[in-house]
Amino acid sequence: MVFSGGIMGSDTLTFWILFGLSLWSSSQAFTKNPILSRIRRAPEASDENKKCSYTFLVPEQKITGPICAARGYSTDKDRVTRLDVAAVRDLLSKQRREMETLKLVVDVDGNLVNEMKLLRKESRNMNSRVTQLYMQLLHEIIRKRDNSLELAQLETRILNATTESLRLASRYRELEARYAALSAVVNNQSVLIGALEERCMQLHSRRHEQTPLGPPLVQVVPENIPVNVPRFTNEITRVNTRGAARERGSRSGPSPTTSSTIEVSKSEKNFSSEGPFRDCLEAQEAGHTNSGMYLIKPDETERPVQVWCEQNIDNGGWTIIQRRKDGSVNFFRNWDNYKSGFGNIDGEYWLGLESIYKLGRQGDYKLLVEMEDWMDKKVYAQYSSFHLEPESEGYRLRLGTYQGNAGDSLSSHNGKQFTTLDRDKDAFSGNCAHFHKGGWWYNACGQANLNGVWYTGGVYRSKFQDGIFWADYGGGFYSMKSVRIMIRPID
């Protein structure tokens, strides 16, 4: 830059030298500024004022300090003016504003960068969560597929079980139909055998008397007949206390017995010497809670009798008046035997019609019939009241209402007199005791025959229905394995 000045003395020269040195020590930015770097040349002196001028070459420097502007009017065009300073200030203000704007932009960009980083982090978290949810969804799909497979397998098993049950039901119906057919065949064969026997008797008998016809057959195949019968048999077991051998039952069955002795066991285990009591309930109330043999003496009797007391079922206090269990005692007896009683107290026995009549006169009694078939299933029939009328009325049977699971086969005998082989009091034209081989309150002849022949195996073959049958359970050709008839005072 070139600065011009007139010769104004030593002080003026010193000022300009110092001014030039300050400009020389300025920064390079000032020299690059076209406004500040421009120093106007001083106007040439007129002819009237001719002065000497000096020119100093000073290197361009950047203005770092304040700029002093000459006060007053200056004619030097290259001198810095207030307008130049204002322009510089405006430029600096503009650059400052631009810097602030850039700073704001940088801040905004920094915030955007931070937000982008957060968004990227959230995106990574979202990706992890999406992956986790995808794995859960995949696991759930697999589990549902497994459940569907298990459900399909279960449905298949149910269908197979249903098919098998239907097949078994069909098979059961077929077997039931075959059993009914076989029972019908057995019945027809029994009738045929009876007809053939009658024919043979008519042809070969020396007697010309007409053979009496048997009573009508009771129901052969009831609804609750015991199934799985082991075998057909017509064996009659007659094992008495002396160990007699078994005998084969003939067409006419066992012969009637006239002995009426009731044998008493000497076993100390089941025998009580205390008493006598009015009945087994009184023995129980006296503290005897074990089942066994006890002496009882009903009112109006002359001497005590021995009975078996059952204390273990239905609160106890039951007096057994009849028991069948092994065929060791013959029940085809006459009137006197059934009146006084017979058999073995700890085995098979009949208490006696007179003793049963005297027991019933002491108060209100109820009756319980307990039966067991050959599959060891026990059933019972209970009647709300029970008593007999005196011998002058044939020991007529009086029963109350029925309840139980064996079926009501005794109500048809209600109001009937007792019949034996030698005293016929039934409603049939013949003697029911002859055809059923026992003594009972026969009608014509009836639906129950618990004093009949003890056949082994259940179903038996015979000309007549002479087994121990209960028509509503098993029919007329099914002989029960064991029977107990017992009475007890009504509570």
Residue 291 lies in a domain: yes
Are residue 305 and residue 415 in the same domain, yes or no? Answer: yes
- pLDDT at residue 406 in the model: 93
Cα 427 to Cα 330: distance, rounded to the nearest angstrom: 25
- Domain of residue 409, CATH code: 3.90.215.10
For 104, 241, 323, 481, the CA distances from 244, given in Å and listed in that order, are: 131, 8, 20, 20
The values of phi and psi at residue 87, to 5°, are -65, -40
Q: At 381, which helix (H) or strand (E)?
A: strand 378-388
Of 447, 446, 452, which Cα lies nearest the Cα of 475? 447
The torsion region of residue 292 among left (phi > 0), alpha (psi -120 to 50) and beta comes to left
Identify the domain boundary among 186, 206, 238.
186
Cα separation, 451 vs 368, in Å, equals 16
Give the end of a domain, one of 125, 159, 186: 186
5 touches 42 (CB < 8 A): yes
Nearest-CA neighbor of 367 among 408, 331, 400? 400
Q: pLDDT averaged over the chain?
A: 79
Read off the pLDDT of residues 50-77 as tens digits, 9 standing for 90 and up: 556 656 565 555 556 555 555 554 555 5
Q: pLDDT at residue 22 above 90?
A: no
Closest CA to 411 of 459, 436, 446, 435: 446
- Residue that finishes a domain, picked among 186, 216, 243: 186
Short-list 476, 480, 479, 483, CA closest to 222: 476
- Are both 161 and 305 inside the same structural domain? no
Give the whole-angstrom CA distance, residue 204 versus residue 468. 32
Query: Which tokens is 199 given?
Result: 């024919």
Assess whether pLDDT exceeds 80 at residue 212: no
For residues 368 and 487, the answer to whether their CB atoms sit within 8 Å is yes
pLDDT of residue 114: 87
Please tell me whether residue 66 adopts helix, strand or coil conformation: coil
pLDDT score recorded for residue 234: 40
Half-sphere exposure of 401 (CA within 13 A, CB side): 1
296 and 431 in a single domain? The answer is yes
Tokens of 269: 């285990």
Residues 149 and 298 occupy one common structural domain: no
Q: What angle (nearest 5°) sits at the alpha carbon of residue 333, between those of residues 331 and 336? A: 130
- Rounding to the nearest 10 degrees, give the CA dihedral for residues 67, 73, 79, 81: 50
Secondary structure (3-state) at 7: coil
Give the pair of three-digit tokens for residue 256. Answer: 């009637």
pLDDT in tens, 36-52: 444 444 444 445 555 56
Inside any domain, residue 242: no
Contact 254, 238 (CB under 8 A): yes
H/E element holding 294? strand 292-296
| Residues ≥6 apart with Cβ < 8 Å to 410 | 369, 381, 383, 399, 402, 447, 448
Side chain identity at residue 325, one-letter code: K
373 and 479 in contact (C-beta within 8 Å)? no
- What does the DSSP assignment read for 420-482? BTTB--SSSSS-HHHHHTS-B--SSS-SEETTSB-BSSSBB--SS--BSEETTBB-TTB--SE
Is residue 305 domain-shared with residue 425, that is, in the same domain? yes
pLDDT band at 245 (very low <50, low <70, confident <90, very high): very low
pLDDT of residue 68: 56
Please state, in angstroms and rounded to a whole number, the distance separating the CA atoms of residues 385 and 360: 10
375 three-class SS: coil
Asked if the structure places residue 57 within a domain, the reply is: no
Domain membership flag for residue 335: yes
- pLDDT 10s digits, 355-397: 999 999 999 999 999 999 999 999 999 999 999 999 999 999 9
Cα dihedral: 397, 400, 405, 411 (round 10):
40
Q: Which long-range contacts (CB under 8 A, 24 or more apart) does 207-216 make?
A: 212/429, 212/430, 213/430, 214/430, 214/435, 214/463, 214/464, 215/428, 215/430, 215/432, 215/435, 215/436, 215/444, 215/445, 215/464, 216/444, 216/445
In-domain check, residue 365 = yes
Range of the domain at 390: 280-489
What average pLDDT does this structure show over 469-490? 93
Both 324 and 460 in one domain: the answer is: yes
39 found inside a domain? no
- Do 174 and 284 belong to one domain? no
Q: Are residues 165 and 311 in the same domain?
A: no
For residue 143, what are its two tokens? 């589990």
Evaluate whether residue 136 is within a structural domain. yes
Nearest Cα residue to 408 out of 369, 459, 464:
369
The answer to whether 339 and 352 are in contact (CB under 8 A) is: yes
> What would the pLDDT profile of 273-315 be if each residue is shown by its tens digit?
777 899 999 999 999 999 999 999 998 888 999 999 999 999 9
Give me the number of domains the chain comprises: 2
Confidence category of residue 223, pLDDT binned at 50, 70, 90: low
Share of the chain above pLDDT 70, in %: 70
List the structure tokens of 386.
């029970």
370 within a domain of the structure (yes/no) = yes
